[in-house]
Amino acid sequence: MAVRRSFKFLLRPTRKQVVALTACLADHQQLYNAALEHRRTAYRKAGVTVRYGEQSAELKHIRADDPGGQGRWSFSSQQATLRRLDKAFGAFFARVKAGLVPGFPRFKGRGRFDTVEWPKDGDGCRWDSQPGHPAATYVRLQGIGQVRVHQHRRVLGTVKTISVKREGRRWYVILSCDDVPAQPLPATGVAVGIDMGVAWLVTTSDGEHVANQRHLATCADRLAAAQRELSRKERGSHRRRKAVARVAALHAKVRRQRLDGAHKAALALVRAYDVIVHEALQVATMTRRAAPKPDGEGGWLPNGAAAKSGLNKSILDAGWGVFLTILSHKAESAGRELIAVNPANTSRTCAHCRHCAAENRVTQAEFRCTACGHTVHADVNAAINIFRAGLALRDAAEAA
Ligand SMILES: [Zn+2]
């Protein structure tokens, strides 16, 4: 069995290459914004919807007119940028159709455009472009040159797409690979149910807690404070620019912590269990929650504690989505079985006597059954119910 997987490595560009990488990113950003402007104007002035095909056909002229600028880069990476805009519009129209009121696709300002993708290895880019080099790995990027890669692990499978991403002052290359051989783990003979929570990312039906979310919540508090601070700064001021940088740095930190916690928790589960039952995420319920009001420039309108808890909650919620994605990749590669169950009533049903009542749940952490008096950690109780629901699903599927 083979799976798709991505590999991310730090780049070690020369000073000249940093200048070229920066220019490459800036030109792709300019292309994205110009194509967005084109679509908006056509729609406003003439009610016409411009499509990807038309914009892609224009690329030839744009490149010919600007050989020292847009003409320097790969045709394919520019097409990928236009496709990215097309995707943003596709998502926008899908949400309109669903009766939601989505924000119109936005212009990408400084620091909001950080990735260029080359959709095919060998087309404007080449992974491991100097395979004979005794000491280092290189990636060749059109218009930039041979950039040295800090390759800290082996790449498996076939390289499909190559992306370059800027994170703060660092540059990374991300390879998306197909046909990566799965690495099945030996069977353990044990199955488990997991509950995803606020204080702990995961609690198992065996009563174990995995990956503490308190770190993440602390960081989210600081992020909320930084965003309030940002909203008080005058537009275009030096202080505002500094505040924007601080918010971006905290966002990056939250992302790193979340990824790190999710990877560790997923790895521990996949190693220990053959079958993992989890609750299916209910995205609709999550988005119905009141959210903090954005001020339209990347900050948040002050609305006190509500904004804080809203942001905090949304960061933890987003963590569950990330965690489940990582868990499913690891489970697939390790040959483990994942079962998703409907989470309805799993947190209010007594795992001991099956009595179901909202009053059973005393606090966030404590479950005390009003019928039989059974007392247990609320997350463990939920995990046991999730586990049973998963086994019932599997039995039903086998019987059918
Ligand atoms: Zn009970």
Which residues, 6+ apart, have CB-to-CB distance to 365 below 8 Å? 199, 377, 378, 379
Percent of the chain, pLDDT > 90?
58
Q: Which of 7, 31, 46, 137 has the alpha carbon at shortest distance from 83?
A: 31
Beta bridge partners of 165: 115, 172
- Going from the Cα of 236 to the center of ligand 1, the distance in angstroms, rounded, reads 60
Average per-residue pLDDT in the chain?
A: 88
Neighbours of 113 (CB within 10 A): 20
Poorest-confidence range of 153-167, 240-254, 274-288?
274-288
**pLDDT given at position 309:** 53
**pLDDT given at position 350:** 96
- Going from the Cα of 95 to the center of ligand 1, the distance in angstroms, rounded, reads 43
Distance CA 173, CA 128 (A): 12
- Going from the Cα of 352 to the center of ligand 1, the distance in angstroms, rounded, reads 5
- Going from the Cα of 365 to the center of ligand 1, the distance in angstroms, rounded, reads 16
**pLDDT given at position 295:** 46
- Going from the Cα of 345 to the center of ligand 1, the distance in angstroms, rounded, reads 14
**Can you read off the two tokens belonging to residue 174?**
């991300």
- Going from the Cα of 82 to the center of ligand 1, the distance in angstroms, rounded, reads 57
Which residues, 6+ apart, have CB-to-CB distance to 151 below 8 Å? 9, 137
Residue 292 has pLDDT above 80, yes or no: no
Give how far the C-alpha of residue 181 lies from the chain's centroid of Cα atoms, to the nearest Å: 24
- Going from the Cα of 203 to the center of ligand 1, the distance in angstroms, rounded, reads 20
- Going from the Cα of 356 to the center of ligand 1, the distance in angstroms, rounded, reads 8
- Going from the Cα of 278 to the center of ligand 1, the distance in angstroms, rounded, reads 22
- Going from the Cα of 128 to the center of ligand 1, the distance in angstroms, rounded, reads 61
**pLDDT given at position 257:** 84
Angle of helix 304-334 relative to helix 238-272, nearest 10 degrees, comes to 40
Distance CA 111, CA 167 (A): 9
- Going from the Cα of 354 to the center of ligand 1, the distance in angstroms, rounded, reads 6
The residue to which tokens 């269990």 are assigned: 273
- Going from the Cα of 253 to the center of ligand 1, the distance in angstroms, rounded, reads 42
Q: What is the pLDDT of residues 28-86, one digit of tens each?
A: 999 999 999 999 998 888 888 899 999 999 999 999 999 999 999 999 999 999 999 99
Distance CA 227, CA 239 (A): 13
- Going from the Cα of 358 to the center of ligand 1, the distance in angstroms, rounded, reads 12
Query: 162, 177 in Cβ contact below 8 A?
Result: no
Name the residue with higher pLDDT: 292 or 243: 243
- Going from the Cα of 338 to the center of ligand 1, the distance in angstroms, rounded, reads 28
- Model pTM score: 0.67
Provide the phi-psi class of 136: left if phi over 0, else alpha when psi is between -120 and 50, else beta. beta
- Going from the Cα of 353 to the center of ligand 1, the distance in angstroms, rounded, reads 4
Confidence of residue 312 (pLDDT cuts 50, 70, 90): low
Confidence of residue 313 (pLDDT cuts 50, 70, 90): low
- Going from the Cα of 192 to the center of ligand 1, the distance in angstroms, rounded, reads 21
Average pLDDT over residues 361-379: 92
**Can you read off the two tokens belonging to residue 63?**
């490149």
Residue 301 has pLDDT above 90, yes or no: no
Beta bridge partners of 9: 173
Q: Where are the alpha helices (DSSP H) in 176-303?
A: 214-231, 238-272, 283-288
**pLDDT given at position 287:** 42
Confidence of residue 157 (pLDDT cuts 50, 70, 90): very high
Poorest-confidence range of 146-150, 153-157, 225-229, 304-308?
304-308
**pLDDT given at position 206:** 95
- Going from the Cα of 279 to the center of ligand 1, the distance in angstroms, rounded, reads 21
Q: How many residues does the chain have?
A: 400
Average pLDDT over residues 105-134: 92
- Going from the Cα of 281 to the center of ligand 1, the distance in angstroms, rounded, reads 26
